[in-house]
Structures are given as C-alpha cells and as structure tokens.
Chain A
Amino acid sequence: MQLDAEPLLAELAQKIGTLPEDTAVVGIHTGGVWAAEKLHAMLGATLPLGKLAVTLHRDDFSKIGLHPQKKATDMPFDVDGRHILLVDDVLNSGRTLRAALNELFDFGRPASVKLAVLVDRGRRELPFSADYAGATMTLDPSQELVLKNDNNKLRFDIQPKN
C-alpha cells in the first residue's frame, strides 16, 4: 500500500508557518533528510541544511553491529546557541530521535530543538513528542512505514516488517 507524502509535507510546512530567523533545519538520515531538503526550500531557510547520521549513537549496536554506510553527519554551521528544527519522516518508538539528539549535542549546545515529522505513529517507548506532525496514524506493529524517494517525489510504502 502506498501513501503520497507530498500533501503531508505541505500540511507540515503550513503548521510550522514562518521559520524564525537563525533557525537551522536538520534532517535525520535517510528519509528525514529528504523531507528536510523539501521543507528547507518551502520554508525559505537561510542557513545551509544540516544532516545527522545516527548509526554511531544507536542503542542496538551490540545486537546488530556496525554497518558501513555512505551516509554521514554534516553540520555546516555552528550548533552552539542555535535554534534547531529537527526533521524526520516517521516518529515511532523515539529511539532514533534519542540517538539523533546525542549526535547533535556532540557538536555543541543548541538554544532550542523542535521536532517536525511527516507521520507520528504514536507508539512511543521514550518520553518524546513532536512539535509538528503532518499526520497521526495508527498502524499495526507488524507493519512498517518506509519513505521512498521516486524522482524527488516522496511517498510512503506500508509494508510488513521484515
């Protein structure tokens, strides 16, 4: 089953409204970066886009090990004292977000962090909530929501978890 993600992006941009001056948009690899790239343009952000790879902060390292990947963290601005809009595609357990915040804080102490997600699945295992969500959706735990980038058109595939 597929779900067009573009309307969710528009919805999200609208909820965020105008981006305060001095706010940096930061996407979480991989889906969050795609969403963040679009939001960055839609919101007319002035600072360059930040990217976070969370593999080095994952809490399941001892279970699944480390896999080399091309995705790398890129913070092309000073994080210290900055307002950050953190963007991810799906908010579920909150564990990725925990890793992302740890990674982010390795670069400095931001003034504030707000969270924007395309979809909030609402099955939290950690005390987080999104400041902005394109949609809230309840899915069976056996299903997985995966963001796909098809020629710069974003869509969600709903598929059984493998």
Chain B
Amino acid sequence: MPLQFNPQLGADGKLKHLLTTEGLPRAMIESILETADQFVSVGDREVKKVPLLRGKSVFNLFFENSTRTRTTFEIAAKRLSADVINLNINASSTSKGESLLDTIDNLAAMNADMFVVRHAQSGAAHLIAQHVKPGIAVINAGDGRHAHPTQGLLDMYTIRHYKKSFHNLSVAIVGDVLHSRVARSGIHALTTLGCPDVRVIGPKTLVPTDCERMGVSVFHDMYRGLEGCDVVIMLRLQNERMTGALLPSAHEFFKSYGLTSEKLARAKPDAIVMHPGPMNRGVEIDSPIADGRQSVILPQVTFGIAVRMAVMATVTGA
C-alpha cells in the first residue's frame, strides 16, 4: 500500500504512537523538543517526579536485549509516575512459542497503557501499533535497522541545545550507516527540521543502496566529509561486523573512519561530537575525543531522559 496514511497519527492529527521520525510533521517534532525543555529540570529536583502518568502501566517489551536503552525508558516512565513493567523476551522463546501479536494481546489484557518495544525485525513496532486497540500507545525503542526515533529526537534536542537552529548546519553521520536505525532516524529528523546539509560517511560496504534518496550526500573520505561540519554523529560498530566480508578489521576501520583529533580538526572549531552509546573506544572514536571539550555524549544521555518523558507525555495526553 502506498504511503497514504501515517500510522503514528490519529484522525485528529495528534501523535498516538512514536514509530519513526520519518513523516512526522515538523511542528510535532518541535513540540516534542519544547515539551522536553520542561522535563530537563525535573531531574535536578529533590523529588524527581511529576504525576502526569500516575496510574498508567508502561510495559517495556524488549525482544532484543539492551539494558541501557531499557533503563532510560524506565527512568523516564518512573519520573512521570507511571508503573513500569520490564519484560525481556529473547527471540528463542518466542520462536518456539507464542507469536508476537499473541504476546501483545496477553499484555494488553493486563490493561497496559503503553508499550515500549525493541525488536530485531524492522517494522515490528508498526505491526504492533496497527494491532493494538485505540488508547494503547506504542513507542518504538528500536526495530531492526529501521528506526530508533527517541534516539533521533534526543539527538535533535542535543543539537538544538548547542547550536540553537538547524538552518545553517552541516551534520555528518559517520560509520555503519547500513545497519543503523540511529542514522535513519537522525537523517529523517534533520531533513524535516530544515537542516540543509546532512552527510553520511562510511565505506561502501556500510552505506545503504540509494542512500542519497534520503536527502543526504555520501562521502567515503572522512577528511573531506568532515570539512566545515558543525555536528559529528558517530555510530556504533557492532562487534560482529568488525571482521568478515564488510570490514577486514576494527583496526583498519579506525584508521579510515575512527574519529581522531586529526580528522576532527577538519570540522568547525566549535563542532560538537555525539555518539548514541555504548562507545567502542579506539574503534569509532579516540578516547581523548570522547572525553574532550567538544564531546556532548554525556549530555545526550541526560537529555535522552527528558525527550523520552516528552514523548511518553505527548502520546498519553488526549
């Protein structure tokens, strides 16, 4: 079916689920970022809680293990006073047992109000969102290679925080773009917010086919790709991709595409360096850069909680 409807939006145009940053109206992304502003300070209070989701049940449904991401969603939900139920369901138990939608039906019968879903298959969150009854919100916490929209939004929040506006920015996304849902969500959010220059940097084996059609320019030479950049987003390289047919070795990858002070010198002097974590020091990024003055990797984590709170509050509000 052609892209004639947006499964994230209700008939009233409001956000019902967050599945991808692609196709989100610009005003809606901006509204989420502004809402997040209100939540940033909540973390500094003696009582780090507001009652917006009091009495709501949020199910963290992780079919793919990720303690870190699950924890950030858990903190976000708890700061909104929701009840949080964590479920780690590894793929092997579902493959011989219950189907994905049966699992969802069962949990929905326990009066779930929100599902935060991570799944190894692209499109799993869409499937669930189209299946649940009205009133249940689905937040995609990462589906295969497809999307990780809260990460994309927190990256936008971080960029906006340091650079104020997107209008004259050059943003480079570096590394394993092919397998990266973070890259896809970032690209769509950046182009929607009016960022005029989004660059993708990586070896041909790790850049998706027809990547330019997403509105980016592709570079295979990192020095050229970083020229004059305001923002550098480094992607995580999964261990299993470091050796084999995609790359010969982590060492050689670092040589060409690892962020070092030498390469970063090509970007603007005030360029910020981001990474979704967890970092592979010495593979994607040199330690002095990760810990250096241009790194905003830890603020990303802090903002991530506020952005996830904003997303949860937005999909829950009428």
**Interface positions of A (Cβ within 8 A of B):** 53, 55-57, 61-66, 68-70, 72-73, 79-80, 102, 105-108
B38 partner residues in chain A, CB cutoff 8 A: 53, 55-56, 68-69, 72
DSSP majority for the A interface?
A: loop
Contact (Cβ within 8 A) B318 A56: no
Q: Which of B22-41 contact A (CB under 8 A)?
A: 31-35, 37-39, 41
Write out the residue numbers on chain B whose beta carbons fall within 8 Å of the beta carbon of A62: 316-318
Q: Report how far A57 CA is from B38 CA in the complex, Å.
A: 12
A57 interface neighbour in B31, B50, B313, Cβ under 8 Å: B50
List CB contacts (< 8 Å) of B128-180 with chain A: none
Interface bracket on B: 20 to 34
Given A102-B51, A106-B45, A106-B46, A65:B317 Cβ within 8 A: yes
What are 21 A-B residue pairs whose CB atoms fall within 8 Å in the complex?
A56-B38, A56-B39, A56-B42, A57-B50, A61-B52, A66-B35, A66-B314, A68-B31, A68-B33, A68-B34, A68-B37, A68-B38, A69-B34, A72-B37, A72-B38, A102-B51, A105-B47, A106-B45, A106-B50, A107-B47, A108-B46
Residues of A within 8 A of B46 (CB): 79-80, 106-108
> Which residues of A sit under 8 angstroms from B51, Cβ to Cβ?
56-57, 102
Kindly report which residue of chain B lies nearest to residue A73, judged by CB atoms: B41
A51 → B minimal CB distance (Å): 12
> How many contacts between A and B, using CB within 8 angstroms?
57
- Does residue B281 face the partner (Cβ distance < 8 Å to A)? no
Closest to A75 in B: B45
Residues of chain B having any CB pair with chain A under 8 Å? 14, 31-35, 37-39, 41-42, 45-47, 49-52, 313-314, 316-318
User: Pick the contact of B317 from A57, A66, A108 — CB < 8 Å?
Assistant: A66
B82 CB, min distance to chain A CBs, angstroms: 13
> Which B residues are CB-close (under 8 A) to A55?
38
Question: What's the nearest-Cβ distance from chain B to residue A75, in Å?
Answer: 8
Chain A's nearest CB lies how many Å from the CB of B77?
14
Cross-chain contact B50 with A63 (CB below 8 angstroms):
no
Which residues from B are CB-within-8-Å of A66?
35, 52, 313-314, 317
User: Among A53, A56, A61, A70, which residue has the most Cβ atoms of chain B within 10 A?
Assistant: A56
Q: Across the A-B interface, give the 4 residue pairs with the lowest CB-CB distance, nearest first.
A: A65-B317, A68-B34, A56-B50, A106-B47
Give the residue name and chain of the A residue nearest to B56 (CB): A62
Counting chain A CB atoms within 10 Å of each CB, which of B14, B32, B316 scores highest?
B316
Contacts of A106 in B (CB 8 A): 42, 45-47, 49-50
